[in-house]
Structure 1
Amino acid sequence: MPKNPTLFLAFLSLFLSAVSQNDEFVYTGFGDGGAASGSGTNIRLNGVAAIESNGILRLTNETSRLIGRAFYPSALQFRNATTGAAFSFSATFVFAIVPEYPKLGGHGLAFVISPSQELKGALPSQYLGLMNASDVGNFSNHLFAVEFDTVQDFEFGDIDDNHIGIDINNMESNASVPAAYYAGEGGRTSITLKSGERIQAWIDYDGIAKVINVTVAPFSSKPAVPILSIPVDLSPILHDRMFVGFSASTGLLASSHYLFGWGFKMNGVSQSLDLDSLPSLRQPKKKGTAFIFVVSATAVVVLIAAVAGAAYLFYRIKNADVIEPWELEVGPHRFSYKELKFATKGFRDRELIGFGGFGKVYKGTLPGSRAEVAVKRVSHGSRQGIQEFMAEIASIGRLRHRNLVQLQGWCRRRADLLLVYDYMPNGSLDKFLFCDGSQKAKPVLSWAERFGILHGVASALLYLHEDWEHVVIHRDVKASNVLLDADLHGRLSDFGLAKLHEHGANPSTTRVVGTLGYLAPELTRTGKATTSCDVFAFGALALEVVCGRRPIEPKAPPEELMLVDWVWEQWSSGLWADVVDPRLEGVYEREEVAVAIKVGLWCSHPAAARRPSMRQVVRYLNGGDAAEVPDVPSPQLADGGYEEEGGPVGFDDFVHSYPLSSLDKVSARSTIALGEEAAGGLCHEGPSILLDGSGARGLLEP
């Protein structure tokens, strides 16, 4: 008998638990319902996943924004129930990714160990069907995944659009590498995940050494050196019993994700799969000699038929979607005109949800996926020509942030230019903040909802200004361009006025476009749009959200005509609580309201150098403590001018923007001069100002 029977029994229990935990299964193809050899069980599918007649498991098809999953039907014992230590495990599988368009994959697949098979609330696109924006990074996810990603998502810090990453409770990988393998003495060899060729992957976790290794190769034998290896203890990540399987998704661009075989073993090494014994994708038949002969023999007949049907073909060509070479290089998804016409029921007026200087916006339902979208149809007389349209597609199509309205795709048919966006069921923020009696009253937004919207818009602007690969200046931040999704989360929209600049460039423009009350004073003087101009507009938006009033309110008493003037006076007098929207009925967090007011006034400072950056704004909104926000600098100097780089800014420099409190109040309500077009947005809640290259100003009534 051992000297320490308690220690011996504990060791014996651990040993017996490990020995008894020997789950193993192998799928060599998924025919007959996906029977696994040696187990007699079926595989569990959800989403669009399906097993084809040749035994291949297809997780997704070439349809946008879909999820497909496949799980082993029973939960496996991943941890020692006594000690909580994670067992070693090994997985082997063969997959292929076939993109809808060559070299443009979307979005990828992941091997996943999860507490459930449903993963409720998970989203497609960059989330790979694993989680959503609200639970990214939560330790409570208890989720482990190895992603094979074919899209570079800057939001999650992806290294490229062809990488392998290890994800723990997050879509931002703990470690990632470009897809490759080590082939003997040949060194590192790159491999293209979306090549359409079969690739075998090995995922091995050593529960003793606490190391995860990932290996890939386009052949049956396993390379000796893994392509990705990191030390990690999965014991606190995994539950005692977990489900193991795969998840794949598509986004604006789509790929078909296939599985050909899968093996898994607990406390052991899963055997490699023989590619020759697995099903393979059907290859297109090559044109043989007989086929060429038949084609040659019928050439004359085809020619005669073509001549006879010339009139019909001319009609079809005239009405078809013309695709020019440059359009093949522009993403994201290109819709057909017929598809969008059907979705919007012929662009009928009943589907119209907005309009502005660039045309009309219709609600639509895409055939097939039945997804609701907003279709922006650029008018024939719009100044936004094909060059601007191309730039908008190229830049916006690659922007990805949870607080930006996502561009799903586009279409061009002769003079008709169309953009397809996510549909926001709750419309624009201004419809909730202001009600002039001409529309059905919206529910009153709570303070928590308002503060969340401000934080979301600030995060989106920070992403545009600093966190994307280029600097994007929105140039028309206002309440009507903040749309609300089904959960009343704010999303910044309408990039029709956005200008794209390289980091470090000197942005300039020959035409100032925007909305009165949101225009930074320096814009009308210099004509240069900068990120500070967006900050100024955000300041006006913040005060609108707090007060429930427009930046310029013609019907207000003279002392309250300019919202920023009035709020500044009340703040300076310690009466800031009097400016809070009375519809809140006093139900709000005082510290958060004070932060919003201070940030709004700070952003609204007439001197650009005195305004904060969006990174500072986000930090103070995150803190929610007014004491942390620096004191707002006074907007006016003793001489009545406004301090700015290069000397004081005179009164005339921004007569059409911030300091209209100095004007005769009546003049703000009258038309000074009519410009050539209304500037940006789907609708204008206040007067708009336009400055062309000659310096002529125009004030447009709403």
Structure 2
Amino acid sequence: MVPRSSLTATITAIITILLLLPATTSQAQILKSEDHVYGPFNSSYIYGPLINIFHVIPSASINQGALQITPDSAGNISFHNNSGRIFYNKPFKLWDDHDGALASFNTSFLINVYRVNKTPGEGIAFVIAPSLSIPLNSYGQYLGLTNATTDGSGANKLVAVELDTVKQDFDPDDNHIGLDINSVRSNVSVSLSKLGIQISPNGTVFHVLWVEYDGERKVIDVYMAEQDDKDAPIAAKPTKPVLSSSLDLKSLVNQESYFGFSASTGVTYELNCVLRWNISMMVFPENKSKDWNGITIGLGVGVPLVLIGIGGLVYFLLKKKRAGSYSDPQIMGTLKSLPGTPREFIYQELKKATNNFDEKNKLGQGGYGVVYKGTLPKENLEVAVKMFSRDKMKSTDDFLSELTIINRLRHRHLVRLLGWCHKNGVLLLVYEYMPNGSLDSHIFCEEGSTIETTLSWHLRYKIISGVAYALNYLHNEYDQKVIHRDLKASNIMLDSDFNARLGDFGLARAIENEKTSYAELEGVHGTMGYIAPECFHTGKATRESDIYGFGAVLLEVVCGQRPWTKIEDYQLLVDWVWYLHRERRILEAVDPRLESNYVIEEAERILKLGLACSHPIASERPKMQAIVQIISGSVPVPHVPPFKPSFVWPAMDFSNFDSEITATSTTEYSPFNTQSSSVHVGLSDV
């Protein structure tokens, strides 16, 4: 029974709020992420279901698997003195109507700027523009952005990142990147030759560009790297941008602006191709204005009716509160503090999607709870729903720890978070569903599994590469250093094309930039066979301990054996492989189910890399940047000694132990894992 005094006070408070609301309260704005991934650009973008994704302005076209921003060799058109644009067909809202907050966005694209006659010209640009149009006579030096009449005019309302391959009198050279504001005379210009980058060399070379805009800081950063193969996973983003500048978009462009590409040719010409394009944009919800005059009149004319309605509303809300259906203030506070709140799902929607969390839809279970497969029919979307099931306090910590880490992670080799739900004390995270399950289910094909054929060598190598790119992103490319802490085959998911997606961020932690490790007072978490030996002595996780786990995964994938497998007289898989390496018989470790259907050089490379990553001394393990290059074959494997080195640990100085702790919550569950082999070792147990 709700006390009458409490109810009366609540009603009075609500009426007061309603009367004051026009002057003191505003609609809360919650940012969400909108992601767009395009390419390769096949016929579906021309004739099929994706035909309306892009707005193409001649002389641009879509053919030969790319966005051809200027004429390509397949066209029946002159190459000289042309310009073209290709836009995403819908504009993006760049700032909020209510408080003027600027949206942040990241975009990355794979390009090929090809010299037809060994002389380049003119260039290509990523552009933010006010409309789906292109100025007349914008060929030559104008890059499809402006022309001789409009160049420099504030009415252009455009910002562009140019890659210029012809030197004008205002350019530093014929191979530079620039930030253009309403003009092709760049506000900021950087020579790429000094950085060892050639936009348009002789021959076919692919480059990846990352354009990242921080709306809160009003800063734009541009990164650039060479890509070995257009079909390979995107290259690792460099640690430093090639161009960085302050940029207040609100003062320069339209609130509703289009994103796309622009390019031109002049007396000389080149082929300007975009082969892939990803956009991640923080979007604002639509403002729904309220007629406050109408509300005020309503209160004046029908106060008794309003009071009755409010009384019923208050009783309903208080009843819900007593039932524990209100959102936990800790959870809501954390969500509001996140840069771009993820989508909130409706509980009934997820309940229906999973058929009331039916056992038949269970994907995995562990110490934290259960993961279910669900289908959202309205969106024609399959999802994986993770339900936390420890006691309330621990579940809340688990939920917030995982959500805080993965909320802003964006990489094609990471399982993507779609959103969350909190209802009646039930905590749910919603991930994209991976139709091919986990890597270990395909490697081991265990009894009772529907998978009968083990993975081919080609797919194993492809998966290894993807995981390496994902881990390099976490360690070196994300704006915080993130330690995964539970690298293993069961946490590597596979999409419909068997691309690797690293999942399970229940144990992951971000560490402060000046720190190198993460420690928990309760001890080490992870799975036996993947935990680096030093972790048992320090209680700390580092990037080096992640690399040790990755080494275990490499051996697991190539050998088709779990890390703790006893073989011959050896207690662990890594010791057996090291023995074979010493005997110069390392290829005998290759999974016999592959028979001879594997590439000898690649198998030897990955086995030795697995040993190098498994080095007992953390400082001797290769770094992730080098690992990515080793897997691609561009650099050799570091020397692996014939005998496994001994683990040596100096006396510990725990005087600074407390200062290195960056979080205190603990998590043990693998969100997509069907096994329960996690361990928890406290310092007192060592």
> What's the TM-score once normalised by structure 1's chain length?
0.62
Count of aligned residue pairs for this structure pair: 510
Amino acid corresponding to residue 401 of structure 2 in structure 1: A
2:466 matched to 1:456? Answer: yes
SS in 2 for 1:374: strand
Amino acid corresponding to residue 647 of structure 2 in structure 1: Y
1:65–1:252 Cα contact (<8 Å) kept: yes
Amino acid corresponding to residue 518 of structure 1 in structure 2: Y
Distance 1:95 1:685, change over 3 A: closer
Q: Which of 547, 557, 565 is the matching residue for 1:545?
A: 557
1:106–1:249 Cα contact (<8 Å) kept: no
Per the TM alignment, residue 72 of structure 1 is displaced from its structure 2 partner at its CA by 6.1
Q: Which of 616, 633, 637 is the matching residue for 2:641?
A: 633
Deviations for 1:318-365, whole angstroms, at most 9, x for unmatched residues? 475627451323332222222322222221112111111111001112
2:304 matched to 1:300? Answer: yes
- Structure 2: which 5+ residue stretches go unaligned? 1-30, 37-49, 62-69, 115-122, 130-157, 160-207, 653-665
Tell me the residue number matched to 2:55: 71
Distance 1:347 1:591, change over 3 A: same
1:105–1:253 Cα contact (<8 Å) kept: no
Tell me the residue number matched to 1:227: none
1:91–1:203 Cα contact (<8 Å) kept: yes
Per the TM alignment, residue 313 of structure 1 is displaced from its structure 2 partner at its CA by 4.6
Tell me the residue number matched to 2:494: 484
2:638 matched to 1:642? Answer: no
Structure (1 or 2) with the larger CA radius of gyration:
1
Distance 1:105 1:419, change over 3 A: farther
**For residues 621 and 384 of structure 1, what CA distance do their matches in structure 2 show?**
39
Q: Which of 210, 224, 231 is the matching residue for 1:156?
A: 210
Per the TM alignment, residue 295 of structure 1 is displaced from its structure 2 partner at its CA by 2.5
Per the TM alignment, residue 456 of structure 1 is displaced from its structure 2 partner at its CA by 1.1
2:85 matched to 1:85? Answer: no
**For residues 481 and 305 of structure 2, what CA distance do their matches in structure 1 show?**
57
Distance 1:448 1:521, change over 3 A: same
SS in 2 for 1:398: coil
2:408 matched to 1:398? Answer: yes
Q: Which of 531, 536, 541 is the matching residue for 2:543?
A: 531
1:632-671 alignment, distance < 5 Å: 632-634=640-642, 636=644, 641-644=646-649
**For residues 474 and 536 of structure 1, what CA distance do their matches in structure 2 show?**
12
Per the TM alignment, residue 689 of structure 1 is displaced from its structure 2 partner at its CA by 2.9
Amino acid corresponding to residue 508 of structure 2 in structure 1: A
**For residues 531 and 575 of structure 2, what CA distance do their matches in structure 1 show?**
15
Deviations for 1:101-154, whole angstroms, at most 9, x for unmatched residues? 97788787xxxxxxxxxxxxxxxx956xxx7xxxx33559x986424799xxx9
Distance 1:364 1:95, change over 3 A: closer
Q: Which of 346, 359, 367 is the matching residue for 1:357?
A: 367
**For residues 361 and 322 of structure 1, what CA distance do their matches in structure 2 show?**
22
- Structure 1: which 5+ residue stretches go unaligned? 1-60, 109-124, 182-188, 211-232, 240-246, 258-281, 648-675, 698-702
Structure 1, 383-392 or 154-163: larger mean CA deviation: 154-163
**For residues 591 and 518 of structure 1, what CA distance do their matches in structure 2 show?**
25
**For residues 94 and 687 of structure 1, what CA distance do their matches in structure 2 show?**
48
Deviations for 1:369-422, whole angstroms, at most 9, x for unmatched residues? 221111111113387442443232222111111111111211222422111111
Amino acid corresponding to residue 404 of structure 1 in structure 2: L
Tell me the residue number matched to 1:339: 349
**For residues 469 and 261 of structure 2, what CA distance do their matches in structure 1 show?**
36
2:593 matched to 1:583? Answer: yes
> What's the TM-score once normalised by structure 2's chain length?
0.63
1:252–1:333 Cα contact (<8 Å) kept: no
Percent identity reads 31
1:155–1:401 Cα contact (<8 Å) kept: no
Deviations for 1:594-628, whole angstroms, at most 9, x for unmatched residues? 01010001111111122111222111111177xx2
Per the TM alignment, residue 642 of structure 1 is displaced from its structure 2 partner at its CA by 2.7
Amino acid corresponding to residue 307 of structure 2 in structure 1: L
**For residues 90 and 683 of structure 1, what CA distance do their matches in structure 2 show?**
46
2:443 matched to 1:437? Answer: no
2:111 matched to 1:137? Answer: yes
Tell me the residue number matched to 2:127: 146
Amino acid corresponding to residue 300 of structure 2 in structure 1: S
1:28-39 alignment, distance < 5 Å: none
Amino acid corresponding to residue 214 of structure 2 in structure 1: D
SS in 1 for 2:575: helix
**For residues 81 and 222 of structure 2, what CA distance do their matches in structure 1 show?**
17
Instruction: Using CA pairs under 8 Å that are at least 6 residues apart, name the structure with larger relative contact order, 1 or 2.
Output: 2
2:678 matched to 1:683? Answer: no
Tell me the residue number matched to 2:272: 237
SS in 2 for 1:529: strand
Distance 1:179 1:323, change over 3 A: farther
1:159–1:176 Cα contact (<8 Å) kept: no
**For residues 156 and 88 of structure 1, what CA distance do their matches in structure 2 show?**
23
Tell me the residue number matched to 1:652: none
Distance 1:235 1:388, change over 3 A: same
1:283-432 alignment, distance < 5 Å: 284=289, 286-288=291-293, 291-308=295-312, 311-315=315-319, 318=323, 322=327, 324=329, 325-326=332-333, 327-330=335-338, 331-381=341-391, 384-432=394-442
1:106–1:250 Cα contact (<8 Å) kept: no
Tell me the residue number matched to 1:620: 630
Distance 1:104 1:552, change over 3 A: farther
SS in 2 for 1:376: strand
2:615 matched to 1:605? Answer: yes
Amino acid corresponding to residue 87 of structure 1 in structure 2: N
Distance 1:451 1:238, change over 3 A: closer
Deviations for 1:522-547, whole angstroms, at most 9, x for unmatched residues? 11111111111111111111111111
Deviations for 1:268-314, whole angstroms, at most 9, x for unmatched residues? xxxxxxxxxxxxxx9846533x6522322222211123335665454
**For residues 614 and 238 of structure 1, what CA distance do their matches in structure 2 show?**
30
